[in-house]
Each structure stands twice: as C-alpha cells, then as structure tokens.
Structure 1
Amino acid sequence: MERSSALSTTSAEILATGLLLATLACVVLRPRNWPEAVAAVPAAAIAIGLGTVTPAHAWSETKELLPVVGFLAAILLLSQLCADDGLFRAAGDVVARVCHGSPKRMLGGVFAVAAAVTAVLSLDATVVLLTPVVFATATRIGARPRPHLYASAHLANSASLLLPVSNLTNLLAFAASGLTFSRFAGLMALPWLVAVGVEYAVFRRYFADDLAAPAHEPEPGEETGVPVFTLVVLALTLAGFVVTSFAGIEPLWAALAGALVLGARSLARRRSTPGELVKALNLPFCLFVLALGIVVRAVADNGLGDGIAHVLPDGSSLPALLAIAGVAAVLANLINNLPAILALLPAVAPAGPGPVLAALIGVNLGPNLTYVGSLATLLWRRIVHAHGTEPELGDFTRLGLLTVPATLLASTVALWAGLALLG
C-alpha cells in the first residue's frame, strides 16, 4: 500500500484509528447539535495531511461515493416532499381507522407501514418522518406508545434489507455487488420478509402487557386525504429505478426525476420555498459521508482491511455467509454500520454478491442491539425524547438480544436459499 514516509506503520495505524473513533464520538454526542460533517471533514483533512491516506486513495474513495451520495440527497428530498404532501399523515389515518381501537392491530399496521416506508423511501424517512406520526396515532386511540415507537426504530434497520434505496449501506453494497436493481431486490426479498416476521413475533410477545391495555376507536375528525399524485410519482420513480438499472444508468437520475416533479409542484403551489428544498437535501450529512469514507479508507489502508480479510472466510457456503454476517454485525456495533460496510466491502466484493449481501444483512440487522450501531437509531432516540418519551436502555438492549441473533440467522439462511435457487 502507498503511505507517506512521514509516519511509521504503527503511528499511521494509531492515528487513523484515533481519527475514526474521535469522529464517531462526536457524531454520537453531537456537541451543540453540530452537524456530523463538523467532525468528519477535519478528520479527513488530517488523515490526508499527515499521510495516513494518500491523496490518490482519498480522491478514488470520493469518486466512488459521489453517485451514492447524490442518490442519498435525492431520496432525502423525495421523502420530505412526500411528507409535505401528507403521505405519512394519511398512512397514520389509515392505521388508526383499520385498527378499530386495538393496540395489537395497530402494531401490525405500524409494522406494515414502517416496513414499506423503509423499503421505498429509506430508513431516514421512517425515523424522521414516520416516528412522529406513529406517536400521534397511538395517542389518538389511547394506546401505549412504547411497542409502536420501538417498532419504528427496529424496522428502520431490519426493514431496510429489501431495495438498494432503503439504506445508505445498501447503496454502497449495491454499487459493489454488480447486481441489477431487480436482482438485488429478488435476492433480498426473502431475508427482508423473514427479518420483519421475526421482529413482529418477538414484539407481540415482549410487549404483550402494553398491547393488552385498553384503547378506543379514533375520535371522528378531519382526516388527511390520500395524495394520489404523490403516490403515482413515487410508483413511477420505483419503476425508474428498475429501468435505469437494466439500462446501465445510475439510479440517481430516476430519484432526481421524481424529486424534481414533486419539487416543482410544491414550489408552484407555494408549499415549499427553494431554501426549504435545499435544506431537505441535507448537504452537511452528504459531506459527512464523503469525509467519513476518506477516514475509513485511512483505517483500512493501515491494518483494518488486512485484518478483516484475514478473519472473513472465503466462498458463499452457508457457514461462510453466517460468519460474514456475524462479523459485520459485531463491527457495526463497534464502529457504526456505515464505517463498517465501507471497511467490509473491499474484502467481500471480490467473492461475489453473496458475501456482499451477507455483510449487508449484518450491518443492517446488527445495529438493533445498541444505540451506536446506526445513525438512524441515534436520531430516533432524539426524536422520541423530543416527544416527551425517554427510551429505556434496558428495553432496547433486551429487544436487541431477542431479535438480532434470530434475524441474523434466519435472514442469512434465507439469503443462502435464494442464492441456491436463483443462482
């Protein structure tokens, strides 16, 4: 590997690891609510300046991430525009109406909506836009909110297995897998269904007392109409993902087209301002992803990459896939799932799509064990706190211990079966 002679191997390893840990600590603690880029950008500059990563490697990493980050920005904008058009409020109204005052039925409705929103609009939409709707819907029927709020957190991770657009980790894995959009979805459909099913079974049992508490039919009132135009644009955008994938075009353009249509409509109706649309792109977070990629590349170039390659098994046998998923889950809880997938992909991508998808299962399901495993979980915790409910670490950890090993095992077995059947 290339490395500046200014640092010894040991010094470079220590510095690169220290920069990553310091960046993650700032992301978790977020002093003064500063954006994540405030920590990551200086860390990337230090890594380049002191020679823990060469400028050539840093630029190579940035070029690989740019299409992914552009896609992320477009999806974030699309999600916000769907929220502005009332899509999430309408979903909450449907759940409240269908559950007929039953907390158990509401849990099923929350699972269905959260799984669909996560799959189509990404886990960020579930955490940021759906969680407040879930809280409001539980309050509306007098149900205890705990089961439904924890469901939105878990499904933001567990239900993000299905599509390349469901999670930033998926976008990164999709780019490295060589799969088409439809092929990726086909292979991950069964692991996705299994993970959601296991989560639902555990939640029904774990929150049995909360779900047995009395509730009532929603009070009659003004309901949000279903935004048909928005749903049609969303469906066409999903179809565009498949078409662009087969045509060898970046799916960014399909996401951008959908966002432009809804954005132009929102501006014409004066529901949004240009400044609000730019804010929805969350450019500081996009910059954070680019900078974090450089920091992780520095760590990988200075020992982590070789260590991961040494630990991971070869091939796509069931034991190998289980081992890869397990290592990925552990790594996600140690250094967060985004750095984890960035570090894992160079080691698993040469072995084919099976190991890549197994690593993805690990980094998506593993974070349900700890708060720090996923940025989305940390964000969910802040949102729940802002609504006057403090999530309990004991509940979160116990739910993680009950769901993570089971979903990892079941989803990885489902992936192995899909690879065997679909080839």
Structure 2
Amino acid sequence: MGDVAVSAEPTELLRFATAGSVDDGKSTLIGRLLYDTKTLFDDQLAAVEAVSSARGDDYTDLALLTDGLRAEREQGITIDVAYRYFATPRRKFIIADTPGHIQYTRNMVTGASTADLALILVDARKGLVEQSRRHAFLCSLLRVPHMVLCVNKMDLVDYSQEVFEEIAAEFTAFATKLDVPDLTIIPVSALRGDNVVDRSPNMPWFAGSSLLHHLERVHIASDRNLVDVRFPVQYVIRPQSNQHRDYRGYAGQVASGVMKPGDEVMVLPSGFTTRIASISTADGEVAEAYPPMSVTVRLEDELDVSRGDLICRPNNRPETSQDIEAMICWMDEKTPLQRGRKYAIKHTTRTARTIVKDLHYRLDINTLHRDEAADGLALNEIGRVKLRTTVPLLCDEYRRNRETGGFIVIDEGTNRTVGAGIIVDAG
C-alpha cells in the first residue's frame, strides 16, 4: 500500500466532494492526489503506466486510476457517487467523486450533503461555465462549510497570472451572492502536478499553499455543532440474560452537541427529564460523547423510550412540528413531485408519512431565478415546498444543524428514495 507513514495518534477525517464539468481534469486531479501521497497499490500503478506507455503517452495518465468506474457507470451500473480513500500522516480523507453532467444534480447533492469541504474544478482555458456556478450554488445550499476552487490546466495557459486572477475575481463575485463562509482559490495543473501536493516553481506569483497542504490544514473541528445536544435513538438495547435483566440502553449516533454522564436531559416527544447514567462505545465507557460518535446511553430513570425518540437538553430543544417548509431536490426520473401527493419521509431515526401541501416555487439553479408558476418538480429540479407530516418531526433548521435539518423522501409504493430535503423553517 505504498509507504505511507501513518502516526499512532488518531488522525482527523476530512470528507470532501469533488465536482467539475466533463473534461475539467477531475479524474486526473484525484489520481494525482492518490499517486503523490503514495496511496496506490504497486500493481495499480504498474497497470496505469503500462496502458499509458502502450498509448504512446510521455506521461503517466493518472485519470485511468479513477476512470475505471466510468465504464461501469455508462453501462447503467449505479455507481452514482464513487468514494475513494487516502491518508497522509496528518489526516485521513474520503473523496466523494460526483459526476459533472447536468443530469447528475442528485448525485452531487448526495456527495455534498455530508462533506466538510467542496472542491470545484474549472478549466483555465474555459473559465467559469454554467456548471461551475451550479456546483457552487448546490454546495452553498447544502451548507458545505469550506469551498476550494481549483483552476486546473494552468500549464495550457502558460501559467498565466492574469488568466487565474480573472477567473478568481469572477468566481468570488458570484460566491458573494451565495452563503460561502470559507473560499480558497488555487491554480493547479493536475497533469503536471503543479500546486497539487507541492508548491509549483512554475507559478512563483501565487503566494498560497498547495491543494494537499490546504486539505491537511483546513480547520474543521469547529464546523460541528457542539452546542445543541441531539441524540436520535436508533435502537433500544435490552439484554435477555438474567444477570443484565435491568439493563436498558439507547444506541445511536450523536447528531450534535456534547453529552456527559450526569447531564440533565429530556426525552422527546414525551418531555420527561432525567440524567445520563453512563455513555459507552464498543470499547467501553467514555467520559463524553460528541458527533459523529456511535454510543449507547443509559439513563438514571426508567422511561418509555423507543426508536425515533430524541434525547436533548431541557432548555435547548428542537422544533416539534408537523408543518415544514423545505427545499427539495427531486431524484425520481419516472414521476415528478406534485402538490397533493403522499410520500413517506425519513428524518433522523424517525419515519412518518407526509403530504405535499404546496409547491411555492421551482428554483433555476443557474440564474437563481424563482419560477412561482411551476406545478411540479422533475428529476434533478429543486424547489421550495410545504409539507404536512402525520407525526411531529423533532427537527432544527438545516442552517443550524445539518443532521436534524435534513431528510429523505420515499415513494411508499416502490420504497425508492425519490427526493432529498433540507428544512428551511419548522415553525
């Protein structure tokens, strides 16, 4: 597995989603990161070098490392988002590589919804295209905390500072209309390796760091919501053996906040309060739990708690609402979303049925124009809707909490996921 030196210290994990138009060099960029961080198997590298030399290329075509999945995708095999893993001594990385075509908006939403950082590629010769703007908008809608614009193929514009600064100025102006808290712009050549892992001598005018240096050091710890305690219960654990007959634990993943034994907590929807007796993981008891840890919580009092309930702090509760305003990205190619239709909705560990009460507008994600005359949402379209659910959801606005502010929509007849939503208002 190469000779990556991984320290004994637990390293932080950064999830990032890559997006770019076709032929922007995304595959080459990911291949370059894998190649230069020595995260490749020797036989993978040998195979790529053999194909490159057989073609008569004077360079190793690193795009071949990631394009293996493209053929499968074209055959209709549903590898919609390809995940890749690599590590450096400083950090572990998961790359969600999402296709660039306009018809793949839903895949981009899937990849970006859990990302800490979005990496958007543009071709230095073409500058910003419609797709670049659409990707940036989707990442801001999904509140990806960090964004990196890579101006690629700088070698094909003679490493021109002027070309780079023009694209950077145009993108920055567009980003100010969106909600982009942290934007970094880096000129790179994925093919030649300029500014990908090491600083490039070909662009002495660029004072910033290389892409990998930025990915290793971007500060993500404070992106997690550590203020609002939200613990959706996934399983109730009651051992059958006599010696543990009184044990009752609640297992799940901490969505946000920090929980400690002794903390006063409230269970929703019942509203009963108690204290945390203990918190444990697979490795034993812990002194605190925070996102995204999977833990089992024991409470001091015996309360009636079941799957779909939520543990929070008494003075900091989520909204409890059956009327929800949301932005939805529609993912079903067969039937559009329409007013009056009924669906199932999965929100944290709770499932409910819902009806679409209203479709306020469909959003043109290239111009940000709102079409208020729209009567439905087709595949990949995004719009604002009003939903009414059969049971109250225990939710926060997505801008406050990505975990309790997102949901998926399921077609009850086919059990297929047909939409992904973010809660704008649960009042």
TM above 0.5, yes or no, is no
The structure with the largest strand share of the pair is 2
The structure with the largest helix share of the pair is 1
Tell me the TM-score normalized by structure 1: 0.26
Tell me the TM-score normalized by structure 2: 0.26
With a CA cutoff of 8 Å and minimum separation of 6, indicate the structure with the bigger relative contact order. 1
